Amino acid sequence: MLDVEELERLSTVVGGSDSAVLGTTLTSCRAELQVRPGSIVDVLERLRGEGYNMLMSLHGVDYFPEEPRLGVAYELLSFEHQRRLSVKLRVSLDTPNVPSVTPTWPTANFHEREVYDMFGVVFDGHPDLRRILMPEDYIGHPQRRDFPIGGEPVLFTGNEDGNPGWWK
Amino acid sequence: MEVIRHGRVDVDATAGGAGGASELTPADKAAFRARQSRARDLLRGDLEGQDLEAQVRESVLTTTLDKASKWASGNSIFPLTFGLACCSIDLINLVGSRMDISRFGGEAMRGTPRQADMIILAGRVSMKMAPVVRRVYDQMLEPKYSIAMGACSSSMGVFNNYAIVPADKFMPVDVHVPGCPPRTESLVYGILKLRRMIQDDPEMGWRDRYRAHGTEENPRQPLMSMDELETRAAEATERERILREGGTGA
Amino acid sequence: MVEVSTERTTTTVEYRAGEASIDFAEQLGTVVQHEQAELLTVNFGPHHPATHGVLRLLTTLEGEVVRDVQPIIGYLHTGIEKTAEDKAYWKVVPIVERMDYLAYYFNAMAYCGAVEDLLGIEVPKRAQYLRVIHMELNRIMSHLVWLATTALDVGAMSILWYGFRERDTILDLFEYSSGQRVHPRYFQIGGVMEDIPAGWEAKLRRFLTEMPKRIGQYESMLSNNEIFLRRMRDVGVADAETLQAKGVAGPLLRAAGVPWDLRKTMPYSSYEDFDFKVPVGTRGDNYDRYLVRMAEMRESLKIIEQAIDNLPEGPYITEDRKVALPPRHELATSMEALIHHFKLVTEGMRVPAGEAYHAIEGPRGELGCFVRSDGSSKPARVHMRDPSFVHLQAFGDMARNEYIADMIITLACLDPILGGIDR
């Protein structure tokens, strides 16, 4: 696990000249850097230089009542230090554009498509940004917090006639 | 004394009379002659269409053949491997040696719907997959049967959300097997139930067994006949007319 | 323009030296240099007996050589992550279990680990050992199903029956301890649901004495089998750099030579107490993946034996009443226990706000679970990082310039589980 000094050192190294790092969080189970969305590619490259050579996961989070609403989290793993580090960025719904890290980290391909599909975050520079889990012509981004969960009403003998089936 | 029942002479009563069983009415003789000529035409290959069907239907030998063929087809169902999710692993278990589906004649699992009799829909059907399943089901040839295995394909199962479709919405299902996932024994029970249905010997539902008819929550209205429907429509029109005139009138 | 490497290594066996002159690379070279090389795109549809689940592959073929593979997924998307946001924390365990449907204990462990990180509670030692035993049994079971289906794809159908016979023995053990063979909801947040019953240990030991012999039998059937070797050796090669760039970890990376195993490098749930080896391959081809998984089965047996020998006494779930249900006998005497029981069952446990990512070594690779909590009794986001989802991206590289039949074998050795891919 990272300790405080290491996290501070990383954030200065990674922040670089353009002060990409907006903040850090350290809990007993997680070390996190919050970065500006535009500079994510540089941040990840600098972290690769620090030994974090594997991007294990890239996922979206919807912080619904708080703004900016959509978050993208990058989970990095270092083989040589056996440590994990998370990088997080937040974008709002009106400008959901994030530079894609797929050219430098090929593993992000499917992950970014999933985040686009489920949350609507648009990754600029992604070779093939289209829906991956839902049908291609689906409208809506299902995993946002204000998307209804959907589903069917439970069928009893009383209301089963009103429910359409294949023969109706 | 002759006792006449249904236009035919009662054999026992005419013990003293002449003939007995050979006392046939002219109608019977005519019917017999018609059947005989039809059989002759059949043998010659002259019967066609409706006559042929009538002849075949009436002959006792074919009815037994029918039953025999249904028995045979019930004992040799070719399942289509349609494993989608977790239930599919228990489906492969069915082919394994503990719950051997081969003892029911079903070990020839076909990969193509054209050669399969029965589709076992094992697993959750998602929105993207439903048209694919329907297309595969359409490609199967009659007679075809379907089993919805597991809770997810029968109803929504554990996942009541935007992504899953219950199988009843897009294809007819003969047997639903509940469970998540159903034990392989349950699936075997479902297949055996289907087999009895194919062999024209459907098992009684529990309401028949326990004579519990009338215990439904919302007993269905019996279907109305055409006359009844017309009477009700006429009454409704009458009431409407009265309302309209009564409203504008006084 | 299609770039093709015309190198193809051929395995030569001594007495077949005469056939070594048949080198397909030559013929391949002539075909590709031909100007009108025709590329045919074939759809391995979602319903296919050889794709392991509902996976759709758009394959671009030239003759019988695969030039490009594009997987299309989403045919099993269940909305597990969205459903999990709607349920109390302890109710999410069965939802999340159904994701990777051959590694159900691992799904539950990743999720429970993440929530336990957020809660900051300590899982009792006995519960950790029981979790390890069940997870290693599940690992053996998953590898057995992998072996059965891969052998079926290669053509050695008898292994299918043997593999499922062993799997039934393991499922009997699961049923004995938790009541259900598949998806048993045995792991709870804070420990396990119930202690192991009497007689379970004896049954487990019987299994442990029998299983190594069975694995030996499978190895003797396959490992030196010439047909198996010819089909798996040097097929589907992927080197460590490509795999690491694609984010692949697990048996695939270990077969390529990188000894990364989360149970050894970043141990969780008392794995540091056990002595076991991590099998590592050299060439990164399908045969190495097969050997790695067979060796992993043996190592798992060792772990289970050590765990059951040293099983400590103690509680099987955490004593923190705000997280775990109190034992039934307390409900009759203690008012606090009754209140805790009521709150836990109706509302669920409250988890302090925060985010956690907990990753474990599943049978396919790194299985991670990200949980975000906003302080209420329902999680605000649950994301499962599934290994098969990531490995499918590496599949295109592994299957390029192989024959179709070899592509099927490579797909089988990739061990994809569509439930995890599509979630």
Percent of chain C with pLDDT over 90: 43
Residue C368, H or E segment: strand C366-373
**Model confidence pLDDT, tens digit, residues A92-138:** 888 889 999 999 999 999 999 999 999 999 999 888 888 888 888 88
Q: Looking at per-residue confidence, does A38 or B59 come out higher?
A: A38
Helix (H, G, I), strand (E, B) or coil at C355: strand
pLDDT band at C3 (very low <50, low <70, confident <90, very high): very low
For residues B100-116, give the mean pLDDT. Answer: 85
Is residue B228 pLDDT above 60, yes or no? Answer: yes
Q: If we measure between CA atoms, which residue out of C98, C218, C224 comes closest to residue C162? A: C218
Q: If we measure between CA atoms, which residue out of C98, C128, C80, C93 comes closest to residue C349? A: C93
Note if the bond before C197 is cis, omega within 30 degrees: no
- pLDDT of the residue at C186: 92
Looking at chain B, which subunits does it touch, using at least 3 CB pairs closer than 8 Å as the criterion?
Answer: A, C
Count the Cβ atoms, other than its own, within 10 Å of residue A116.
22
For residues A145-154, give the mean pLDDT. Answer: 81
Give the DSSP letter of residue C87. Answer: S
C361 at the A interface (CB within 8 A)? Answer: no
Alpha carbon distance A117, B129 (integer Å): 17
**Model confidence pLDDT, tens digit, residues C96-120:** 999 999 999 999 999 999 999 999 8
**A166 neighbourhood in chain B, CB within 8 Å:** 168-172
Interface test with B, best of C43, C52, C75, C415 (most B CBs within 10 A): C75
Determine the Cα angle at C72 with ends C66 and C75, to 5°: 135
- CB-based contact B127 A167, cutoff 8 Å: no
- CB-based contact B217 A152, cutoff 8 Å: no
**Model confidence pLDDT, tens digit, residues B17-65:** 444 445 677 777 887 887 787 777 767 776 666 666 666 666 655 567 7
- pLDDT of the residue at C349: 87
- CB-based contact A59 C244, cutoff 8 Å: no
**Model confidence pLDDT, tens digit, residues B141-171:** 877 888 999 898 888 888 888 888 888 888 8
For residues B232-243, give the mean pLDDT. Answer: 84
| DSSP sequence for chain A | ---HHHHHHHHHHHHGGGT-EEEEEE-SS-EEEEE-GGGHHHHHHHHHHTT--EEEEEEEEE-TTSSS-EEEEEEEEETTTTEEEEEEEEE-SS--EEE--TTT-TTHHHHHHHHHHHH--EEET-TT---SSS-TT--S-TTSTTS-----PPP-TTTSTTS--TT-
Helix (H, G, I), strand (E, B) or coil at C37: coil
Which tokens is C229 given?
């070797």
**C265 neighbourhood in chain A, CB within 8 Å:** 82
List helix spans (H) across chain B: 26-44, 49-58, 60-74, 86-95, 130-139, 151-154, 184-198, 206-209, 226-248
ipTM of the complex: 0.90
C183 at the B interface (CB within 8 A)? Answer: yes
Alpha carbon distance C301, C293 (integer Å): 13
- pLDDT of the residue at B23: 64
Q: How far is CA C48 from the centre of its chain?
A: 22
The residues with which B243 forms a beta bridge, in sequence order, are none
- pLDDT of the residue at C150: 92
- pLDDT of the residue at C59: 87
Alpha carbon distance C133, B176 (integer Å): 35
First to last CA, chain A: 59
Count the Cβ atoms, other than its own, within 10 Å of residue C421.
28
Q: What are the residues whose beta carbons fall under 8 Å from the beta carbon of C306, sequence distance 6 or more?
A: C273, C274, C275, C276
Distance from CA of A88 to the nearest CA of C (A): 11
Is residue C18 pLDDT above 90, yes or no? Answer: no
Distance from CA of A133 to the nearest CA of C (A): 4
Q: How far is CA B209 from the centre of its chain?
A: 20
Q: If we measure between CA atoms, which residue out of B178, A154, A67, A118 comes closest to residue C85? A: A118
Alpha carbon distance C139, C299 (integer Å): 10
Distance from CA of A33 to the nearest CA of C (A): 13
**C419 neighbourhood in chain B, CB within 8 Å:** 85-86
- pLDDT of the residue at C7: 45
- Among candidates B128, B170, B217 on the partner chain, residue whose Cβ is nearest the Cβ of A158: B217
- pLDDT of the residue at B217: 57
- pLDDT of the residue at C10: 43
Cβ-count burial of B103 within 10 angstroms (0-12 exposed, 13-18 middle, 19+ buried)? Answer: exposed
**C120 neighbourhood in chain A, CB within 8 Å:** 28
C423 at the A interface (CB within 8 A)? Answer: yes
- pLDDT of the residue at B248: 54
Question: Are A140 and A147 contacting, i.e. CB atoms less than 8 angstroms apart?
Answer: yes
Note if the bond before B143 is cis, omega within 30 degrees: yes
| DSSP sequence for C190-243 | TEESSPPPTTHHHHHHHHHHHHHHHHHHHHHHHTT-HHHHHHHTTSS---HHHH
Average pLDDT, chain C: 86
C16 at the B interface (CB within 8 A)? Answer: no
- pLDDT of the residue at C381: 92
R_g of chain C computed on alpha carbons: 24
First to last CA, chain C: 36
For residues C145-153, give the mean pLDDT. Answer: 91
Question: Are B107 and B95 contacting, i.e. CB atoms less than 8 angstroms apart?
Answer: yes
Nearest CA in chain C to B156: C78
For residues A59-81, give the mean pLDDT. Answer: 89
Strands (E), C33-146: 40-44, 56-62, 65-72
**Model confidence pLDDT, tens digit, residues B69-90:** 888 888 888 888 788 888 888 8
Is residue C170 pLDDT above 80, yes or no? Answer: yes
- CB-based contact B85 C419, cutoff 8 Å: yes
For residues C168-174, give the mean pLDDT. Answer: 92
- pLDDT of the residue at C320: 85
Q: Return the half-sphere exposure (C-beta side, CA atoms, 13 A cut-off) of residue B14.
A: 15
- pLDDT of the residue at C357: 92
- CB-based contact A142 B162, cutoff 8 Å: yes
Distance from CA of A109 to the nearest CA of B (A): 21
| DSSP sequence for C333-350 | T-HHHHHHHHHHHHT---
**C266 neighbourhood in chain A, CB within 8 Å:** 82, 84
Which tokens is C375 given?
């302080």
- CB-based contact B127 A158, cutoff 8 Å: no
